[in-house]
Amino acid sequence: MTTPIPHTIKLAIAMSQMIWLGACSHVPYYAQAVDGHFRVIHRAQPISKVIANPDTDPKLKHSLAKVVQLREFASRELKLPDNLSYTSYADLERPFVVWNVFAAPELSVQLKEWCFVQVGCVNYRGFFSQESAERYAAELRDEGYDVHVGGIRAYSTLGWFSDPVLNTFIGYSEMDLARLIFHELAHQVMYVSDDTVFNESFATAVEHEGIKRWFNRTGAAPAQALLTARQERETLFTGLILKHRKQLQELFQSDLSDSEKRAGKARILDQLRAEFALLKAKNNELGSYDRWFSQPINNALLATVSIYTQLLPAFQGILQQQDQDMERFFDTVTKLGKLPKQERNLILQQAAESNLPEKIAGQ
């Protein structure tokens, strides 16, 4: 598993309306979002034009040609939206398109929420400037939050605009290009206000199913083997993070004093690093997570993992119930997204249980 690829800062807007309706304290934030997004759009050129340009780097031409194939496959085989998203290319001349700020209270595993016009509440705040993101993160730290700032390589406008392919991710492997495109297009199928975990877990389920079908179609046996190994590593990593996050949650909900909770938190995070070291000793390929573990580990960083995977078994269970039919799957998820959150979560829990291996489900 690579660092999760979020879609960040959903600019699903009538731009001027969003600024006009927003609270005064949000206006500067909205303004940088609007300006940053249109700077991205301004740089976009049709992929066909970039490929036809004799001065275009051959490696870039090859990658863009692969995007064209993936884009067509996404619409035809996965029933994802057939529109102009990912049919243009923009070179932003920087490594990330936005920087996301995540925050959680020192003694809580729940991420802070920010609420905006049109898109509802989300568990992060995105900035088109790293300096602005770091400045805002410092303010949150001063307020006592655990904070994580992550550079983000792609985001989705939920179909309101034609999202371009970016230089920030065009260098990805075929596998990661496919995952990203399938993931981001899934956000155009379904988006539930105020439920980041639902949205990201759904898109991750589409991404997983999409990449499996892509390699089945291409018949690339070595790629299939790499995909299987990759998913096994992801499962180990995610399981490790969720295990320790659950321990933290139980600690924070206990009757211990705050000082005892802080000491317990430090022990659990030390145990997390120690268990990772043991796992890596048995599987050298887990060294791909060394960079993740080199960061300051806190409640905010741990929560960024659970956003993308917490409900993944539930959506995979629903897909299985629909006989792997993508149109039926999307229809079911769309209906599910319209239900009250409590009722929706109950159904997702049941779907997750039905997706468990027989051996586990029978326990």
Do 177 and 213 lie in one domain? The reply is: yes
Query: Would 261 be classed as within a structural domain?
Result: yes
If DSSP states are collapsed to H, E and C, what string results for 81-122?
Answer: CCCCCCCEEECCCCCCCEEEEEEEECCCCCCCCEEECCCEEE
Contact between 96 and 168 under an 8 Å Cβ cutoff? The reply is yes
- Two tokens, residue 209: 């199913």
Residue ranges making up the domain that contains 340: 223-361
Least confidently predicted of 115-124, 200-209, 245-254, 334-343: 115-124
Contact between 313 and 355 under an 8 Å Cβ cutoff? The reply is yes
Query: Would 258 be classed as within a structural domain?
Result: yes
Contact between 159 and 188 under an 8 Å Cβ cutoff? The reply is yes
Least confidently predicted of 35-39, 192-196, 240-244, 249-253: 192-196
Do 235 and 300 lie in one domain? The reply is: yes
What is the mean predicted confidence (pLDDT) over 198-220? 90
pLDDT digits (tens, 9 = 90+) for 100-157: 999 999 999 999 998 876 667 888 999 999 999 999 999 999 999 999 999 999 988 8
Q: DSSP letter string over 284-334?
A: GGGGGGHHHHTSPP-HHHHHHHHHHHTTHHHHHHHHHHTTT-HHHHHHHHH
Q: What's the rounded Cα separation, in Å, for the pair 61 and 250?
A: 51
Q: Give the pTM.
A: 0.84
Do 214 and 355 lie in one domain? The reply is: no
Single out the residue in 219, 249, 271 at which a domain terminates.
Answer: 219
Do 135 and 165 lie in one domain? The reply is: yes
Residue 234's SS3 state is: helix
Q: What's the pLDDT score for residue 118? A: 62
Query: Would 242 be classed as within a structural domain?
Result: yes
Q: What's the rounded Cα separation, in Å, for the pair 221 and 300?
A: 38
What is the DSSP pairing of strand 45-46 with strand 114-116? Answer: unpaired
Q: What's the pLDDT score for residue 355? A: 56
Domain count, the chain: 2
Contact between 313 and 13 under an 8 Å Cβ cutoff? The reply is no
Contact between 115 and 21 under an 8 Å Cβ cutoff? The reply is no
Do 141 and 69 lie in one domain? The reply is: yes
- H or E segment and range at residue 15: helix 15-21
Single out the residue in 161, 194, 219 at which a domain terminates.
Answer: 219
- Bridge partners of 98? 152
